[in-house]
């Protein structure tokens, strides 16, 4: 389900405008110009939600190793890296789930958030997008508010643990982009979430 979601994030937004009835062609052209600039926005806005980090990963490994040695001498463990894909790497957990109508972080996610905070603190150039989501129950705009509250809740925890506010960007999608499409508690539980997306890794 997560992989599917991430694939969706990679979708480049494309907007087509269609004039109702008999729209003059020049009006449509104007509008297409608008949407073209929207396209540019999104491509620079970044969409590195996927798991493949490309050529940048090598450099990241090198610097991580150097600081890792220094760290291990002082605190006894190596620095967290995004390139380490092992299940034990807490940075590989990129979805935080919430209770109904709540934005409080559940205890089971505190270590995950601490790991991401540490990574952001150690990599001041890294940028993170926090996408807040809600389940389908209730009204859509209220759920947009709820999704933002969840995103802000994670951002606050990250900030308290060393991330700088400038590294974090919260966007709420409310109930508009469900991870699971069922109309039951299982699906709802999967949809009440914040997705962590690194838009810049370091």
Partner 1 sequence: MLKVILRSLLLLMVFWGGSAQAALTIEITQGVKGAMPIAIVPFTWEGSSPAAPLDITKIVTENLYRSGRFSPLPERDMLAQPNDPSKVNFKNWRVLGVENLVIGKVRVAANNQYIVQFVLFDVFRSTQITGQTFHVGKISDLRKTAHQVSDVIYEALLGERGAFDTKVAYVTQSKDRAGKPRYSLQVADADGHGPQAVLNSSEPLMSPSWSPDGRKLAYVTFEGGRSSIYTQDVYLGKREKISGFKGINGAPAWSPDGTRMALVLSKDGSPDIYVMNLLNKKLTRLTTSYGIDTEPVWTRGGDAIVFTSDRGGKPQLYQVTLSSRQVKRLTFEGNYNARATLSPDGRMVAMVHGNGNRYQIAVMDLENGAMQVLTDTSLDESPSFAPNGSMIIYATESRNKGVLSAVSVDGRVRQRLVLQEGDAREPVWAPYGK
Return residues touching partner 1 (CB under 8 A): 8, 11-21, 23-24, 27-28, 30-31, 34-35, 38, 41-42, 45, 47, 100-101, 129, 136-142, 144-146, 148-149, 170-174, 176-177, 181, 183
Residue 28 CB, shortest distance to partner 1, in Å, is 5
Residue with tokens 């508010």: 145
Q: Please check whether residue 130 is in contact with residue 83, taking contact to mean a CB–CB distance below 8 angstroms.
A: no
What is the nearest approach in angstroms of partner 1 to the Cβ of residue 202? 21
Whichever of 31 and 57 has its CB closer to partner 1, that residue is 31
**Cβ-based nearer residue to partner 1, 81 or 152:** 152
Shortest approach of partner 1 to residue 162 CB, angstroms? 23
Residue with tokens 């807040």, as numbered in its chain: 132
Nearer to partner 1, 20 or 107 (CB): 20
Q: Which is nearer to partner 1, 9 or 57 (CB)?
A: 9
Q: Identify which of residues 72 and 164 has a Cβ nearer to partner 1 in the complex.
A: 164
Nearer to partner 1, 80 or 158 (CB): 158
Radius of gyration of the chain (CA): 19
* DSSP one-letter code for 167: G
CB 105 within 8 A of CB 201: no
Task: Quote the CA–CA distance of 124 and 68 in Å, as a whole number.
Answer: 16
Q: Closest separation between CB of residue 91 and partner 1, Å?
A: 22
* Strand arrangement of the beta sheet that strand 95-97 belongs to: 95-97, 193-200, 127-133, 168-174
Closest CA to 131 of 165, 175, 166: 175
What single-letter DSSP state applies at residue 191? H
Q: How far is the CB of 181 from partner 1 (least distance, A)?
A: 8
CB of 21: closest distance to partner 1 in angstroms?
Answer: 6
CB-hemisphere CA count at 13 Å for 151? 24
């Amino acid at each position: 389900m997560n992989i599917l979601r991430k694939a969706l994030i990679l979708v480049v937004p494309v907007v087509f405008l269609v004039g109702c009835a008999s729209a003059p062609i020049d009006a449509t052209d104007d509008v297409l110009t608008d949407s073209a600039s929207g396209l540019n926005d999104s491509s620079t806005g970044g969409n590195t939600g996927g798991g493949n980090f490309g050529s940048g990963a090598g450099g990241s490994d090198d610097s991580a190793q150097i600081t890792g040695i220094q760290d291990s001498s002082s605190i006894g463990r190596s620095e967290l890296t995004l390139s380490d894909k092992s299940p034990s790497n807490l940075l590989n957990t990129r979805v935080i789930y919430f209770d109904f109508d709540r934005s409080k972080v559940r205890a089971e996610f505190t270590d995950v958030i601490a790991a991401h905070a540490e990574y952001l603190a150690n990599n001041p150039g890294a940028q993170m997008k926090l996408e807040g989501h809600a389940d389908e129950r209730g009204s859509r705009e209220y759920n947009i508010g709820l999704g933002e509250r969840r995103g802000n809740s994670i951002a606050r925890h990250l900030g308290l643990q060393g991330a700088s506010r400038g590294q974090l960007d919260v966007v709420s999608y409310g109930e508009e982009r469900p991870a699971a499409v069922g109309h039951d508690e299982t699906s709802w539980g999967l949809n009440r979430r914040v997705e962590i997306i690194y838009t810049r890794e370091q």
